[in-house]
Chain A
Amino acid sequence: MKAHIFVTLKQDVLDPQGSTVQRSLQQMGYANVASVRIGKFMEVELTGTDPENVAAQVDEMCRKLFVNPNIEEYRFDLR
């Protein structure tokens, strides 16, 4: 199974990369871009057939390693 994990900065955490990219887009002519937030994508391939077990494991891996809960939040899906 593959887990697609999306990690983003929490809303109240300043994202200077995002702001910079937004300014670049505006300079390129995209005047209607209100905001840009930049995060991480991880693709994790694991063996396992029970989606509930795999989901629980991926969630644990997120909490332990992939995500810093002080500044990040996450979601994932399995396929």
Chain B
Amino acid sequence: MPRLSVAVVVFPGSNCDYDCFWAASQCPHCRVQYVWHKDANPGRFDVIILPGGFSYGDYLRCGAIARFSPVMQAIVAHAHQGRPLLGICNGFQILCEAGLLPGALYRNNTLTFICEHVYLRVETTASAFTRSCSPQQVLNIPIAHGEGQYFADDATLQQLEERGQVAFRYCSRAGDPAAQFNPNGSRHNIAGILNAAKNVLGMMPHPERAMDARLGSCDGQVIFRSLLDAVSA
């Protein structure tokens, strides 16, 4: 079976790169490698992952400086060519700052850094990242962020909802996306969104940290399997 090439991009301050590398490596037909942010010509990859962390120390705004790293031109080209691009936590922030996803992430409404397992409801299975999920499936995945409040204006939100671009919503264990299950004030309880073409996903929770029941949940596996099976199909 041909090997899928997966890149995990590393910015100065990224700290979830190792876990993303490990999670993608669980796929037997994947070849995973790190790409340093200064590499302007990293080559062609089937899948690119932007991991979590504190790129550039979150200076100015989370992801605001990383979006100008030399590697970003290749990442934008990859996205425009329709290939899968996954941004997790700081990766999601970088994608929004780069304009590859609409809206912005900012300070949690609690003003605290929140590190806990939450429940997410899968809002669409019409993407490479969620196609192996069942409709409205509830996933138990950890979050760890201080700036995860998703904001987009009313018009953008309406468009996201109408076009099925909301990927995940914070919810209760039973899948109820009520306000009380929203950890950070994100509009519409949004935990992850897709671009219009549905090949770019940004999500605040960490599926790469939910790959082993011994660590609390293996619900992240379905996202990696969806993605890596979809691309190799």
A33 interface contact, C-beta 8 A: no
A16 touches B104 (CB 8 A): no
Q: Chain B at the A interface: mostly helix, strand, loop or mixed?
A: loop
- Measured between alpha carbons, how far is A2 from B65 in the docked complex, in Å? 22
Nearest CB on B from A16, distance (A): 5
Q: Interface size of B by Cβ–Cβ distance < 8 Å?
A: 21
Cβ contact of A68, chosen from B61, B108, B110, B149, cutoff 8 A: B61
A30-47 vs B, Cβ < 8 Å mask (1 yes, 0 no): 000000000000000000
- CB pair B151–A13 under 8 Å, yes or no, is yes
How long is the Cα–Cα vector from A66 to B59 in the complex, in angstroms? 11
Contact call A70/B151, Cβ cutoff below 8 A: yes
Residue of B with least CB distance to A70: B104
A contact residues around B149 at 8 Å (CB) = 14
In the complex, which of the residues A14, A20, A68 contacts B104, with contact meaning CB atoms closer than 8 Å? A68
Flag if A68 contacts B111 (CB, 8 Å): no
Q: Closest B residue to A20 by CB, please name it.
A: B111
- Min CB distance B154 to A, Å, is 9
CB distance from A65 to the nearest CB of B (A): 7
- Which listed residue (A14, A65, A70) contacts B109, Cβ 8 A? A14
On whether the beta carbons of B104 and A71 are closer than 8 Å, the reply is yes
Query: Any chain B CB within 8 A of the CB of A17?
Result: yes
Task: State how many angstroms separate the Cβ of B103 from the closest Cβ of chain A.
Answer: 6
Could you tell me the distance in whole angstroms from the C-beta of A71 to the nearest C-beta in chain B?
Answer: 5
Interchain nearest-CB distance for A52 vs B (Å): 26
Binding site for A on B (CB under 8 A): 60-61, 64-65, 68, 96-97, 102-104, 106-111, 149, 151-153, 185
Provide 28 A-B residue pairs closer than 8 Å at the C-beta atoms, listed in order of the A residue: A13-B106, A13-B151, A14-B109, A14-B149, A16-B107, A16-B108, A16-B109, A16-B110, A16-B111, A16-B185, A17-B107, A17-B111, A20-B111, A65-B60, A65-B65, A66-B60, A68-B61, A68-B64, A68-B104, A70-B96, A70-B103, A70-B104, A70-B151, A70-B152, A70-B153, A71-B104, A71-B106, A71-B151
